């Protein structure tokens, strides 16, 4: 599932349903998780990826203990919020996610 699909309103249940593709089930136990996103993820997408990983691995740790690297300059490139006001865009930033404090 692409970031674009998650940002456009794919629900949490639909995102978690992706977990049951064979390729995901084979890759995750081996620690091969890669998420490359050109535009910054929204906090909703960030949390959907976390929920997806937790569901696949049946593990309640954030990002199931996998190394997750988030980079970029969040001040220069903001997530797209259709018909959103400035406050909506700021609130959708990944660094506003409840998961953000867990990163170092």
Q: How many domains does the chain have?
A: 1
The residue behind tokens 């089930």 is 25
Express each pLDDT in 28-87 by its tens digit. 665 555 554 556 677 888 888 888 888 888 889 988 887 777 766 777 778 888 899 999
Candidates 15, 87, 8; CA nearest to 42 is 8
| pTM summary value | 0.60
> From CA 29, how far away is CA 34, in angstroms rounded?
13
Range of the domain at 26: 3-102
Q: Name the token pair of 18.
A: 């992706």
| 62 within 8 A of 99, measured Cβ to Cβ | yes
| The pLDDT value given to residue 10 | 44
């Amino acid at each position: 599932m692409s970031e674009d699909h998650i940002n456009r309103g794919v629900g949490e249940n639909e995102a978690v349903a992706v977990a049951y593709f064979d390729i995901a089930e084979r890759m995750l136990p081996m620690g091969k998780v890669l998420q490359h996103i050109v535009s910054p993820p929204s906090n909703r997408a960030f949390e959907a990826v976390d929920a997806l990983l937790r569901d696949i691995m049946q593990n309640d740790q954030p990002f199931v203990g996998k190394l997750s690297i988030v980079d970029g300059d969040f001040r220069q490139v903001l997530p797209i919020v259709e018909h959103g006001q400035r406050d909506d865009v700021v609130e959708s930033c990944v660094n506003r996610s409840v998961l953000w404090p867990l990163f170092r």
